[in-house]
Structure 1
Amino acid sequence: ITFSSSIPLVDLSKPDAKTLIVKACEDFGFFKVINHGIPLDAISQLESEAFKFFSLPQTEKEKAGPANPFGYGNKRIGLNGDIGWIEYLLLTTNQDHNFSLYGEDIDKFRGLLKDYKCAMRNMACEILDLMAEGLKIQPKNVFSKLVMDKQSDW
């Protein structure tokens, strides 16, 4: 296992990834993934569109809320709401539990979110399959099929 700031680093492109995932989970409980196949450009585009979304007027952002449980939300923080204000966008990969993003200004964001959520779900399944393989559990998709289940919030 390669360590980056004491966090185990798992290279998904390496043949020993399944062994490293199991070891990282046993020793640390988590790990950082590299060479996961999600293009940096796709991540950068999504970040750029997210920045544009949070720069919209408040009334436009609120069309994607309230976050119940998914969507746009905001709140004051601190005991008396005096520390600051945060806003957030809670997402799920389950299309049945999706919130609405409306307006032509965020069509690109909506499309990028859909692609990103699909890529994240696929990567999660790949990691879960590797974990099952590393643990010698059969069938190897025993965990990932739970994520792919229609009722999953993933």
Structure 2
Amino acid sequence: MVPDKEAAAGAPFGYASKRIGSAGDLGWIEYLLLCLAPAPAAAAPAVSTLPCAATSPTPPCPLRCVLLREPIGGNIIWFVCSRCRELLREYSAAVRRVACDVLELMAEGLGVGPADALARLVAREDSDSILRVNHYPPRPDQLGGGPNLTGFGEHTDPQIISVLRSNGAAGLEISLRDGAWASVPHDGDGDSFFVNVGDTLQVLTNGRFRSVKHRVVVNSEKSRVSMVFFGGPPPGERLAPLPALLGDGGRSRYREFTWKEYKGSGCKGRLADDRLCRFEN
């Protein structure tokens, strides 16, 4: 890492490299994890500056993209400069609408009402949603080994829904029923979205929609860049299968829990762990 990046590294939000989570998972990746909650009125002093990507390098940009951190609820929340923050808000608002539209279509297909039975949890202002920007550098020749290098290890997304857009580079794979890995066809133009069901949506639909285990491998000299919107429910929201989807006998496959409880439980494990098994009836 260059010194500016190293100085900006923080947890749980902000810049990080190679280390994924706190349980020891590693990947050939560097990333920004950005909180989409409203920023506090008063920001803490700047701890680092990075070149502002929102402005043209010619002529030299007078702005610097300042990373700020503020303690909220025991966590350190990172924020960027106002100009970049507005761009992030514009993009996250647009992709949140995409996520909600997809969830409304899912609810319609399941025959449950109201139309926003699923989407409302992501649309709410207090929803726990984040934006993750991943950069998978080209595989170094000196690493040797097999043809694939792990960029991001196998896992399921814990939130309700994930909406991903990449630069068109290959690398995303999903796990099939027999345990084999299948490459997701990449979008050469980088103008399509990949929508992923999260663990929470699997719970809400009582298993009708299932979260799929996926991973990213680095197997070419082209960098992969992806932006992922993770739509999560509000922290205190009580989650359980929708009554209309309990089926004959009203059997719920999962016990009720809060998003805060589920999120906290998942943070203690490894990427590949089955988090939902702890909440099954």
TM-score by length of 1: 0.45
Larger radius of gyration: 2
TM-score by length of 2: 0.27
Flag the structure with higher strand content. 2
